[in-house]
Amino acid sequence: QFRQSFRAGGAMPELPEVEVTRRGIAPALTGHAVAGVIARVPALRYPLPPDLGALLAGRRLTSVARRGKYLLLDFGDGRLLIHLGMSGSLRLVTADAPAAKHDHLDLLFDQGDRPLILRLRDPRRFGAVLWLEGNAEAHPLLKVLGIEPLTEEFDAVWLKRELTGLKAAIKPTLMDSHRVVGIGNIYASESLFRAGIDPRRAAGGVSLKRLEELVPAIK
């Protein structure tokens, strides 16, 4: 039986886990159309779109993107936003794979003689599945997000400018998703340790030289 999971169990999904999920989903499903939807619960953190089956039927997935910890499945004139919450994961399974207790949503993709299901498992039901039309970046969940740390734009010069004048400690400042997305507690701690920066130090007082060490440590 073909079964593939894109998240290690245990910890809350962070940006790296979500990015690994994106990279696993994209090549397997991009270009294929949705043949069916099975929703086994009416809501996760928010209500599921009640007409999701009719909405997605026949739509072809054009790309899979990530913004912060959110996955964005692009279907041309709309995007399906998925957040894994505290305990969620996405798996690719064959169409005959039985659903387990916490498998709340299936998206069946038509792939000829070997259709695949994108299956959302979320024991604590803190995740989210929303349908977005128009400019997705303007959605309230996305428009408040800061810069992506894995981009070229996130460099020491940008970070120095962003931190200038801040008296708050550097560690919680890095964890502020309104400034930089996806730097959770463990990543902030490890990155600061590698760069030789005291996590209690005022963010505005960190030198450009130290930030030049911090940025690659974060990445």
Q: How far apart are CA 204 and CA 159, in angstroms?
A: 10
Residue 193, SS3? Answer: helix
Catalytic hit among 14, 19, 148, 212: 14
The amino acid present at 104, given as its one-letter code, is H
Cα–chain-centroid distance for residue 24?
13
DSSP class of residue 195 equals H
Residue 85, SS3? Answer: coil
13 is catalytic: yes
Residue pair 48/129 in contact (Cβ under 8 Å)? The answer is: yes
Residue pair 57/34 in contact (Cβ under 8 Å)? The answer is: yes
The amino acid present at 13, given as its one-letter code, is P
Q: Read out DSSP for 12-54?
A: PP-HHHHHHHHHHHHHHHTTPEEEEEEESSSBSSSBPPTTHHH
Indicate the helix (H) or strand (E) that contains 62. none
19 is catalytic: no
Joined tokens for residue 129: 């599945």
Q: How far apart are CA 54 and CA 204, in angstroms?
A: 51
Which residues are catalytically annotated?
13-14
